[in-house]
Amino acid sequence: MNIMFENKTVVITGACGGLGSAMAKRFAADGARVAVCDLRGTDAIVDAITAEGYAARGFEFDITDRDAVRTAMAEIAEIYGGIDVLVNNAGINVDSEGRKHVDDFSDKWWDLILKVDLDGTYNCTKLAIPYMHDGASIVNISSIVGMVPLRNQCAFTAAKAAVINFTKAIAMELAPRGIRANVICPGTIGIAITNQLWKDDGAMTGLLSHIPMGRQGNPNEIANATAFLASDAASYITGAVLPVDGGWTCGGYARNF
Ligand SMILES: NC(=O)c1ccc[n+]([C@@H]2O[C@H](COP(=O)([O-])OP(=O)(O)OC[C@H]3O[C@@H](n4cnc5c(N)ncnc54)[C@H](O)[C@@H]3O)[C@@H](O)[C@H]2O)c1
């Protein structure tokens, strides 16, 4: 399969993170002009992409700040003449100390996670749509916990489940304009944060026992799936939920009994 984004403008939020930076590099290498969006520190990713001879530019704003999102989307559209792909990838979760049952869960974490993971996705989508060309594509990054809840992460679970249904709703609304909207649900992907969470051997062995493929994913595997759903190769796919999880959500037992 040859996926090309030549002359396409691709907006990626959270593009300095583990998955977002892999996506930014992947889309750029496929010919896109990438708007590298994050809270701060976009220079390193932009420099890495442009050093390879590809096109990228940094935009620093908070996706929870509607005025800032409105300004950024207008600026991106002005510079590039519209938007072809929006990847709502920015997201947060509780750290390991914050993982608690609902009765003990921090209200501060609840408010923040819903604000970033759900409201942020809504803000960027709503405020990018006026600039999206007919036939454009939106890919929202949820999580397998949006499909199959995990204990001690009620806010992340709720926000990511909401992202799935939000995406299905907008897929129906935007279909008449030929704009597709799909969701990717990553399983556990080996980046600095997840490696820290599962750092001891016992925890990692326990984690891997749930994954039929017996390993974590890597960021490029999420970038590949994102590029596929964003591309014309997925031209009849909208409102779809694609787990990229090594089989975690198959629903059977990964171990032999
Ligand atoms: N890594 C995994 O195993 C995994 C699993 C399931 C889902 N996900 C999802 O994938 C996406 C990317 O995660 P990641 O693993 O790369 O995490 P990450 O922490 O490496 O990257 C997230 C990025 O989002 C940015 N961000 C956070 N809040 C923001 C805000 N208010 N405005 C703008 N940018 C903001 C951060 O600065 C960071 O660069 C997230 O939505 C996450 O929930 C990741």
Closest ligand 1 atom, CA of 160?
A: 43
Query: How far is it, in rounded angstroms, from Cα 208 to Cα 198?
Result: 10
User: Is 219's C-beta closer than 6 angstroms to any atom of ligand 1?
Assistant: no
Which pLDDT belongs to residue 3?
A: 66
User: Which residue is listed with tokens 């031209």?
Assistant: 235
Q: Which residues of the chain have pLDDT under 70?
A: 1-3, 192-193, 195-198, 254-257
DSSP 191: S
Question: Which residues, other chains included, contact 124 with Cβ-Cβ below 8 Å and sequence gap of 6+?
Answer: 11, 13, 63, 69, 73, 86, 88
User: Is 91's C-beta closer than 6 angstroms to any atom of ligand 1?
Assistant: yes
Instruction: Examine residue 220 and state whether it is found in any structural domain, yes or no.
Output: yes
Q: E strands within the chain?
A: 9-13, 33-38, 55-60, 83-88, 132-141, 180-186, 241-244
* Residues spanned by the domain of 206: 9-243
CA-based nearest residue to 124, from 112, 134, 132: 132
Cα of 88 vs centre of ligand 1, distance in Å, is 10
Cα of 18 vs centre of ligand 1, distance in Å, is 7
Instruction: Examine residue 255 and state whether it is found in any structural domain, yes or no.
Output: no
Q: Evaluate the CA torsion angle 160, 161, 165, 171 in order and state its sign.
A: positive
Instruction: Examine residue 35 and state whether it is found in any structural domain, yes or no.
Output: yes
- Centre a 10 Å sphere on the Cβ of residue 172 and count the other Cβ atoms it contains: 11
User: Is 58's C-beta closer than 6 angstroms to any atom of ligand 1?
Assistant: no
Domains held by the chain: number: 1
Q: What is the CATH number of the domain that holds 178?
A: 3.40.50.720
Which pLDDT belongs to residue 257?
A: 66
Instruction: Examine residue 110 and state whether it is found in any structural domain, yes or no.
Output: yes
Instruction: Examine residue 256 and state whether it is found in any structural domain, yes or no.
Output: no
Cα of 176 vs centre of ligand 1, distance in Å, is 31
Instruction: Examine residue 223 and state whether it is found in any structural domain, yes or no.
Output: yes
pTM for the whole structure = 0.97
Dump pLDDT digits (tens) for 77-133. 999 999 999 999 999 999 989 999 999 999 999 999 999 999 999 999 999 999 999
In the chain, the amino acid numbered 151 is R
Instruction: Examine residue 250 and state whether it is found in any structural domain, yes or no.
Output: no
Instruction: Examine residue 254 and state whether it is found in any structural domain, yes or no.
Output: no
User: Is 38's C-beta closer than 6 angstroms to any atom of ligand 1?
Assistant: yes
User: Is 211's C-beta closer than 6 angstroms to any atom of ligand 1?
Assistant: no
Which pLDDT belongs to residue 137?
A: 98
